[in-house]
Amino acid sequence: MKFRCERDVLVEALGAAGRAVASRGGSLPVLAGIRIELRGDQLHLTGSDLDLTIGVETSVTGAADGVAVVPSRITNEMVRSLASGRVDVAVEGDEARISAGRFESTIRLLPAEEFPRLAGPPPDAVTLSAKAFAAALRQVVPAASADDARPILTGVLMAAEGNGLRLVATDSYRLAVRDLPGTSVLSQDQTVLVPSRALRELERILGGSDEVTLRLGEREATFEVGTVQLTTRLIEGEFPNYRGLIPSGYPNRLTVGREGLLDAVRRVKLMAREATPVRLSMGTDGLELVAVTQDVGQAHEQVDASFDGTELTVAFNPEYLLDGVEVTPGDEIVLETIDHQKPAVIRSATDGEEFLYLLMPVRV
């Protein structure tokens, strides 16, 4: 195999495919590598840890077709260190030679025949707006759990809802629900559970793209964005009954400016050390935020807000509160509460139908 391309093109392709590479190869050392295949002037790069696979196709100037598996980390670092300009890559025997200007290096290859054969995506496809889907992922994915001991909660539920698609994630402390009306991806009552790790990588890939194509199989989901293809295994199991967590009504309603609340929480939480919550006191005078950490200090701030209900003080994890407020759209948000022990809901004051962020209070 032999080809020539621009350094920046190769850096981008290696970086994208490399995000799916197994950190140590696990039981298959070859999975620590990126499979590169040249056919004519098309270079195909694939990285995989068997759960997540990212394939990239890019145009190069090909001289000799072939297949090889290069170690991901060292190859990425090597190419990234080069100055912008032309890079020549040639595979001879069990080595790849990389040269640019007066620089030249050889890298030992991994056995290409050991790289697993990956099944192609199913033929049926649905095209979505990349911008709308990326916005939904930013709102929902952070609420998924990072604890692999509870694999169900590390996924994002995709479900048919009305005439559209619903995305749901929870880590048992908070819940994010986002509807995409008019986006018909699943059949009635169909649900799939997609790993949040895969969706975080997809969010990166979406970038400034216009469209994303989704192909759903029985055990895998494939997302195609331009020349990048991301395939992930679906999570098997039953997602919690999230609907039962959402109260049917709230007697207390606080309306507050989004940016003003964000700034106040960021300042006050500086005193919320060692898992100390931030307390929100709501009443006719508006909103007051308080954080007190013994032997460190305290902070409080008054925020203009309108409140309808019974005066109430509720404590929240400040990071979880920030996460919810940051991804809620609009200039004003609504915080709906029942009491200091039951879940609270954050919505947009102007468009609260499509996104909901439920947050469990902290008992103090």
182 vs 132, which has greater pLDDT? 132
Same domain, 64 and 132: no
Question: What does R_g of the chain's alpha carbons equal in angstroms?
Answer: 25
Mean pLDDT of 114-135: 88
Measuring CA to CA, which residue among 196, 204, 231 is closest to residue 48?
231
Q: Are residues 253 and 206 in the same domain?
A: no
Tokens 């395939």 sit at which residue?
231
Q: CA-CA-CA-CA torsion for 340, 344, 350, 356, nearest 10 degrees?
A: 170
Q: Are residues 259 and 350 in the same domain?
A: yes
> Among 20-24, 32-36, 280-284, whose mean pLDDT is lowest?
20-24
Q: Residue 351 has what pLDDT?
A: 78
How does pLDDT run across 322-334, given as a tens digit for each residue? 999 999 999 999 9
- Domain end (from 114, 139, 171): 114
Question: How much is the average pLDDT of 197-218?
Answer: 92
Residue 121: inside a domain, yes or no? no
Is there a single domain that holds both residue 157 and residue 260? no
Report yes or no: 325 and 359 within 8 Å, Cβ to Cβ. no
Domain of 276, CATH number, reads 3.10.150.10
In a domain, 120, yes or no: no
To the nearest whole number, what is the mean pLDDT of the chain? 93
Choosing from 67, 87, 114, the residue where a domain stops is: 114
Domain annotation covers residue 82: yes
Quick one: tokens of 159? 């479900």
Cβ pair 35, 21 in contact under 8 A: no
pLDDT > 80? residue 189: no
pLDDT tens by residue, 127-138 = 999 999 999 999
Residue 12, helix vs strand vs coil: helix
Q: What is the pLDDT of residues 278-293, one digit of tens each?
A: 999 999 999 999 999 8
Percentage of the residues of the chain whose pLDDT score is greater than 70: 99
Q: Does one domain contain both 277 and 189?
A: no
307 and 269 within one domain = yes
Range of the domain at 28: 2-114
Residue whose structure tokens are 């920046």: 8
Q: Which residues lie closer than 8 Å to 307 by C-beta, 6 or more apart?
A: 252, 253, 254, 255, 282, 283, 284, 286, 287
Number of domains into which the chain is organized: 3
pLDDT at 25: 55
Domain boundary among 200, 223, 244: 244
Question: In one letter, which amino acid is 2?
Answer: K
Asked if 354 and 252 sit in the same domain, the reply is yes
pLDDT of residue 272: 87
Segment 156-163 shows an average pLDDT of: 88
Q: Tell me, what's the pLDDT at 72?
A: 96
Residue 24's pLDDT band (cuts 50, 70, 90): low
pLDDT of residue 105: 96
- Mean pLDDT for 30-54 is 96
Residue 291: which of 283, 305, 280 has the closest Cα? 280
**Residue 277's closest CA among 235, 316, 326, 310?**
316
Whether 364 is covered by a domain: the verdict is: no
Instruction: Name the nearest CA neighbour of 315 among 293, 341, 296, 294.
Output: 341
Position 235 scores a pLDDT of 96
Q: Please check the confidence at residue 77 and state whether its pLDDT lies above 60.
A: yes
Q: Among candidates 302, 255, 258, 296, which has minimal Cα distance to 280?
A: 302
Would 119 be classed as within a structural domain?
A: no
* CA contacts within 13 A on the Cβ side of 69: 18
Please check whether residue 272 lies inside any domain of the structure.
yes
Q: Are residues 214 and 291 in the same domain?
A: no
